């Protein structure tokens, strides 16, 4: 077997091991919570509505985590088959960021992250609203995860033909030597024991940006927080309303020899 093929199989095996671990992590508490709810319901005298609400809220969070992981896996599969498509639409980026951050209010509060917004109004863009929301959600989720207890700032403004969005946190930061590789598939700069994750979010973000004709970069120092800067032409990619530009990704498409 060639060295290249061995490397591909190793990546795939590591990926299967990490992704099954990640998928299993929310399932275990979810199962326990459902069992507790069932027990409570069977003992009709011990009905505690507040406790029930807490259990259901936590279950709901675990389900959201599971669906996010599954969405990431589906996106990876779309990217590797060259089937990630954009549907361009005109919308207000400032409104979208306000909507997303409002939805994240509770999560930000629970993590102790004060949110600061500096959004230019009337930032009308011609992008794929669903995919751009995915980028903001991803970067915001990372800020909450890697900078709990610290403020998070989002800035959005026009720079000539481009619109830039910066998501800045004051968390654990990223060492200089890791700053390029974290945008690649499966690459992580933290230990699995301290922070869960599959190392796919930033890779998917950079693929979506590539389709939009945009870029992402990071400025950071270890222990000093991180600022992720996204820049996209306001009018979107030059192509028509839909584009499919990804070539199939060999590492996940390759299969072992018979």
Q: Which of 195, 257, 258, 251 is nearest to 13 (CA)?
A: 251
Cβ-closest position to ligand ADP = 197
Does 172 contact ligand ADP by CB under 6 A?
Answer: yes
* CA 151 – CA 173 distance, rounded (Å): 14
CA distance 137 to 125: 18
Question: Applying CB under 6 A, does 243 fall inside the site for ligand ADP?
Answer: no
Other Cβ atoms closer than 10 A to 104: 20
143 binds ligand ADP (CB under 6 A): yes
117 touches 98 (CB < 8 A):
yes
Packing angle between helix 129-146 and helix 201-212, nearest 10 degrees?
150
Candidate list 188, 215, 235, 252; residue touching ligand ADP; CB under 6 A: 188
Tell me if 230 contacts ligand ADP by CB under 6 A: no
d(CA 59, CA 48): 16
Least separation in angstroms between CB 231 and ligand ADP? 18
Based on the shown chain and the rule CB under 6 A, indicate whether residue 84 belongs to the binding site for ligand ADP. Answer: no
Return the range that interacts with ligand ADP (CB under 6 A); candidates 13-21, 55-63, 92-100, 195-203.
195-203
Q: Tell me: does residue 213 bind ligand ADP (CB under 6 A).
A: no
Helix (H, G, I), strand (E, B) or coil at 117: strand
Judged by CB under 6 A, does residue 190 bind ligand ADP? yes
**Hunting for tokens 């751009």 — which residue is that?**
132
Q: Does 135 bind ligand ADP (CB under 6 A)?
A: no
- Say if CB 203 and CB 183 are below 8 A apart: yes
Residue 79 interacting with ligand ADP (CB under 6 A): no
> Does the footprint of ligand ADP cover residue 68 (CB under 6 A)?
no
Measure the CA angle with vertex 252, ends 63 and 217; round to 5°: 75
Residue 199 interacting with ligand ADP (CB under 6 A): yes
- How far apart are CB 34 and ligand ADP at their closest, in Å? 26
- Interface residues with ligand ADP (CB under 6 A) are 142-143, 146, 169, 171-174, 182, 188-190, 197-203, 226
């Amino acid at each position: 077997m060639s060295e290249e093929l061995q490397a591909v199989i190793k990546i795939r095996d590591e990926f299967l091991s990490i992704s099954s671990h990640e998928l299993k992590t929310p399932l275990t508490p979810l199962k326990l919570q459902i069992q507790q709810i069932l027990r409570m319901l069977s003992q009709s005298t011990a009905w505690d509505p507040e406790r029930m609400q807490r259990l259901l809220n936590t279950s709901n969070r675990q389900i959201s985590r599971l669906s996010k992981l599954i969405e990431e896996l589906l996106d990876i599969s779309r990217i590797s088959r060259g089937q990630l498509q954009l549907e361009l639409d005109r919308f207000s980026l400032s409104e979208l960021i306000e909507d997303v951050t409002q939805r994240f209010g509770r999560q930000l509060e629970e993590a102790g992250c004060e949110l600061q917004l500096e959004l230019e109004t009337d930032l009308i863009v011609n992008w794929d609203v669903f995919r751009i929301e995915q980028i903001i959600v991803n970067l915001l989720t990372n800020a909450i995860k890697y900078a709990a207890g610290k403020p998070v700032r989002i800035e959005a403004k026009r720079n000539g033909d481009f619109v830039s969005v910066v998501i800045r946190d004051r968390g654990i930061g990223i060492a200089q030597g890791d700053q390029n590789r974290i945008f690649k598939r499966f690459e992580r700069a933290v230990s699995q024991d301290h922070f869960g994750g599959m190392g796919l979010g930033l890779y998917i973000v950079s693929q979506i940006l590539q389709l939009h004709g945009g870029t992402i970069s990071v400025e950071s120092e270890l222990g000093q927080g991180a600022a992720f800067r996204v820049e996209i032409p306001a009018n979107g990619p030059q192509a028509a309303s839909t584009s499919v530009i990804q070539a199939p990704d060999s590492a996940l498409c390759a299969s072992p020899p018979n």
